[in-house]
A and B are shown apart, each in its own frame.
Chain A
Amino acid sequence: MPYPTDYRYTREHEWISVDGAIGSIGITDYAQNSLGDIVYVDAPKVGDSVTANAAFGSVESVKAVSDLFSPVSGKVTAVNEELKTAPDKINENAHATWIIKVELSNPAEVSTLLDAAAYEAFIAEETKS
């Protein structure tokens, strides 16, 4: 599956899509595939702060929990309410399903993230090992 080239990625399998000062954050297709059917998303509240590389919530399948790590620092401006009743939207289309939107406090952080090619190379390594 092609990874959107205008997104940026973390080694913890989150993506971020930046529009002006706001970043939309979700998990990658690789992540949703590893997790299996997602049953619950534990997201922060609007107004909460997030810090780059720190956990801001978690996503659960039946048998596993994975922490969500923020690619950037900032303040949560929106939370995807649909995921409360339909967390499977992430499985259906991980790259089109944002979990939180964040107002970036340090936009320079985005350029330190992986681009699509680097991320694809990274997961190719992961799958090999």
Chain B
Amino acid sequence: MTKTTDHSEARPAGPHTLGKVRPHPSQNEALLFEKSSPGKRAYKLPPLDVPAVDSATLLGAAVRKTPGLLPELSEIEIIRHFTRLSTWNYAIDLGMYPLGSCTMKYNPRVNEFVARIEGLAEAHPYRPETLSQGILEIFDLLQRCLLDITGMDAITLQPAAGAHGEFTGILLTRAWHESQGNARKKILIPDSAHGTNPATAAIVGYAVENLKSNSDGGIDLEALARQVDNETAALMLTNPSTLGVFESQIHKIADILHTKGALLYMDGANMNALVGKVRPGDFGVDVMHLNLHKTFSTPHGGGGPGSGPVACKAFLEPFLPTPVLVRSQDGPKGCPDAGDWEDTNAEPTADGCPPLFRAPILKPDGERVGDTEPLSLHPFGGPLHWNYDRPQSVGRVRAFYGNTGMFIRALAYTLANGPDGLRQTTEDAVLNANYIRKKLEDVYELPYKTASMHEVVFSDKRQAARGVKTGDIAKRLIDYGFHPYTVSFPLIVHGALMIEPTESESREELDLFIAAMRSIAREVEENPELVKTAPHSTRVSRLDEVQAARKPILRWRPASE
């Protein structure tokens, strides 16, 4: 008898073959130190073209006697090591991250390419300004773009991340209050806020006062009016909130604060719902930070680097961190390179330059309402330089000027989009979140019925009745090929599932996510244990975090120790 191969039996469906996922072996990989052998090497330095020195003689007692125990490996071992490690990671390049308020959007590759251009990547921060004009033009153009996006008057790119930006923004707040005669004592923070907000307030010497959210998950105006007094420095607001809800009473909020001389600080983590549609500066925000690693597509890289520019209204400008970027009015003026910019009007500018670099200002329906000031890729005017003469500045928040590499990436993203791309991006982000909301609201509890913008928050209330919590559902989602959403945050929702798809998700990926979530909801009904013991498909499962905290092992040690 001939043996027939029945392929329908070859790969039975089961809990390990779900939706878009099928198991695939990944390779084990030990620690670098465990693969090390004396004498292996991956480097070769060129021969010294200057006389060699005897370190012991030169350094005396300062010489190092025992080398640090770094591994000794060949290049292929290093390549394999990190390549194998990389295969253990989930990433945006593999699939969707529904993490709320993280804005895990596509990280464009042209960003990586241009950040590595030699003249930019090799620029030393203390290079003479005459040799740094290329970089400084990038700073300037990004600043101007971000100012229009935020509707603010002044900006610093110095802060290294969002939390650092919050620190800077609250420093500005404090400096202004001090200039008005009373530094004030407290910062109001909604109970839905990200943990960095209260941590930041404390570092700037302010007490934190909690502001309860109302039944819609927004700011309770009565509570706000009661709590704001002459010792309130500011309200730190995230808008849209961490529930994904726009504070439609925002002007009242700003009024209540401003009447008592307090400022409105906005945490810009959720700007992905606002870019091109509305500007914080227009609805009463005095100072805010942006997260370039969220809204502006710079990569998360496993936890950083980020960048947290801070934009503010004119009255806070004198307090900005030192130095600030200024363009000389004198110095050689020239006309920019004529590019194939749209010719918007026949008259040359006052400088006699061709008008090719003016951009039309269009309404969403295409109607032209005017022309911009010459803001193009190639501005004219004098050279840029750093101004250190800033007597009211809050000082520096870091050495040098900021995470330049991230500015290059954020600017490349802005250029790749243009005004219509940025607006479409925001619309798609909000569309995607609402699509998910619509398709899951019958199986997962919606604690707040207010309209969602770019993110939606469910609660695990229905599943908790079966003993399954949001953390379990999140772990089961891994088996379906997705990164979990944000678990148990914001704290005002019991058992929160916080979902932000971003605009980078196609309908296909969204439908797969929705199908996965619906399937898990079914599993909760039919087989809750399966969900409670998830994930089932990962290299490691249910790592002992208790042990890791009780007896921390934070470095490798050789067996001899």
Taking A39-B549, A62-B546, A88-B550 as known contacts, 11 extra A-B pairs with beta carbons closer than 8 A to each other, sorted by chain A number, are: A37-B546, A39-B546, A39-B550, A40-B549, A40-B550, A60-B549, A61-B546, A62-B545, A62-B548, A62-B549, A87-B550
Q: How far apart sit A88 and B546, CA to CA, in the bound complex (Å)?
A: 10
User: How far apart are the CA atoms of A3 and B256 in the complex, in Å?
Assistant: 50
Chain A residues with CB under 8 A of B545:
62
What is the CA–CA distance of A75 and B545 in the complex, to the nearest angstrom? 35
- Give 14 pairs: A residue, B residue, CB < 8 Å, sorted on A: A37-B546, A39-B546, A39-B549, A39-B550, A40-B549, A40-B550, A60-B549, A61-B546, A62-B545, A62-B546, A62-B548, A62-B549, A87-B550, A88-B550
Q: How many A-B residue pairs have CB under 8 A?
A: 14
CA–CA, A39 and B549, complex, Å: 6
Report Cα–Cα, A61/B549, bound state, in Å.
8
Measured in the bound complex, the distance between the Cα atoms of B546 and A87 in whole Å is 11
**Chain A 59-70 per-residue mask, 1 if CB under 8 angstroms from chain B, else 0:** 011100000000
What chain B residues lie within 8 Å of A40 (beta carbons)?
Answer: 549-550
Q: Roughly how many angstroms separate A60 CA and B550 CA in the complex, as a whole number?
A: 10
User: In the assembled complex, how far is the CB of residue A35 from the closest CB belonging to chain B, in whole angstroms?
Assistant: 11
Name B545's closest neighbour in chain A (CB-CB).
A62
The minimal Cβ–Cβ distance linking B284 to chain A, given in whole angstroms, is 35
CB distance from A48 to the nearest CB of B (A): 23
Give the residues in chain A near B548, CB-CB below 8 Å.
Answer: 62
- What is the bound-complex CA distance between A90 and B23, given in angstroms? 41
B interface: dominant SS: helix
Binding site for A on B (CB under 8 A): 545-546, 548-550
A61 to B547, CA, bound (A): 11
Instruction: Report the minimal beta-carbon distance from B273 to chain A, rounded to whole angstroms.
Output: 29
Nearest A residue (CB) for B550 = A39
B contact residues around A39 at 8 Å (CB): 546, 549-550
Q: Tell which of A39, A60, A87 has the most Cβ of chain B within 10 Å.
A: A39
Write out the residue numbers on chain B whose beta carbons fall within 8 Å of the beta carbon of A87: 550
A-side interface residues toward B, CB under 8 Å? 37, 39-40, 60-62, 87-88
Most buried by B among A37, A40, A61: A37
Closest chain B residue, CB of each to CB of A62: B545
B496 CB, min distance to chain A CBs, angstroms: 14
Chain B, residue nearest A36 (CB): B546
A37 to B549, CA, bound (A): 10
A9–B550 alpha-carbon span in the complex (Å) = 27
Minimum CB–CB distance from A63 to chain B (whole Å) comes to: 8
| Distance between Cα atoms of A61 and B546 in the complex (Å) | 8
Contacts of B549 in A (CB 8 A): 39-40, 60, 62
Bound CA span A37–B542, Å: 15
* Inter-chain contacts of A88 with B (CB < 8 A): 550
Cβ–Cβ < 8 Å partners of A60 in chain B: 549
User: How far, in whole Å, are A62 and B549 apart by their CA atoms in the complex?
Assistant: 7
Contacts of B546 in A (CB 8 A): 37, 39, 61-62
Which chain B positions have C-beta within 8 A of A37? 546
Measured in the bound complex, the distance between the Cα atoms of B137 and A82 in whole Å is 62
The 10 closest A-B pairs by CB, nearest first: A39-B549, A37-B546, A62-B545, A39-B550, A62-B549, A62-B546, A39-B546, A87-B550, A40-B549, A40-B550
Closest Cβ–Cβ distance, residue B398 to chain A (whole Å): 29
Q: With A and B bound together, what is the CA distance between A62 and B546 in angstroms?
A: 6
Min CB gap B429→A, angstroms: 30
Please, which residue of chain A has its CB at the minimum distance from the CB of B551?
Answer: A85
Q: Which residues of B contact A61 (CB under 8 A)?
A: 546
Closest to A88 in B: B550
Cα distance, A39 to B550, chains bound together (Å): 5
CA distance A45 to B272 in the complex (A): 49
In the bound complex, CA of A72 to CA of B550 (Å):
29
Question: Closest approach, in angstroms, between the C-beta of B364 and any C-beta of chain A?
Answer: 45
Residue of A nearest to B488 (CB): A63
Nearest B residue to A87 via CB reads B550
How far apart are B317's CB and chain A's nearest CB, in angstroms?
Answer: 39
Give min CB distance, B150 to chain A, whole Å.
Answer: 35
User: What's the nearest-Cβ distance from chain B to residue A66, in Å?
Assistant: 14
Minimum Cβ distance to chain B for residue A36 (Å): 8
In the complex, what residue of chain B is closest to A86 when comparing beta carbons? B550
The CA-CA distance from A23 to B131 in the complex, in Å, is 72
CB distance from B534 to the nearest CB of A (A): 18
The distance in angstroms between the C-alpha atoms of A93 and B561, with both chains bound, is: 35
Q: Provide the bound-state CA to CA distance between A61 and B545, in Å.
A: 10
- Complex: how many Å from CA A87 to CA B549? 11
**How distant is A57 from chain B, measured CB to nearest CB, in Å?**
17
Nearest chain B CB to A80's CB is how many angstroms away?
A: 16
In the complex, the chain B residue whose C-beta lies closest to that of A39 is B549
| A125 → B minimal CB distance (Å) | 18
- A110 vs B549: C-alpha distance when bound (angstroms): 35
- Closest-CB distance, B117 to chain A (whole angstroms): 43
A13 to B546, CA, bound (A): 22
Chain A nearest CB from B154 CB (Å) reads 39
Q: Nearest Cβ in chain A — how far from B503, in angstroms?
A: 32
Point out the residues of chain B lying under 8 angstroms from A62, CB to CB: 545-546, 548-549
In Å, the complex CA distance between A87 and B547 comes to: 11
A62 to B550, CA, bound (A): 9
* B142 smallest CB distance to A (angstroms): 38
What is the minimal beta-carbon distance from B312 to any residue of chain A, in angstroms? 34
Q: Give Cα distance in the complex from A24 to B546, angstroms.
A: 27
B223 to chain A, nearest CB (A): 21
With both beta carbons as reference points, the residue of chain A lying nearest to B549 in the complex is identified as A39
A8 to nearest B CB, angstroms?
A: 30
Give A44 to B128 CA distance when docked, in angstroms. Answer: 55
CA distance A87 to B545 in the complex (A): 14
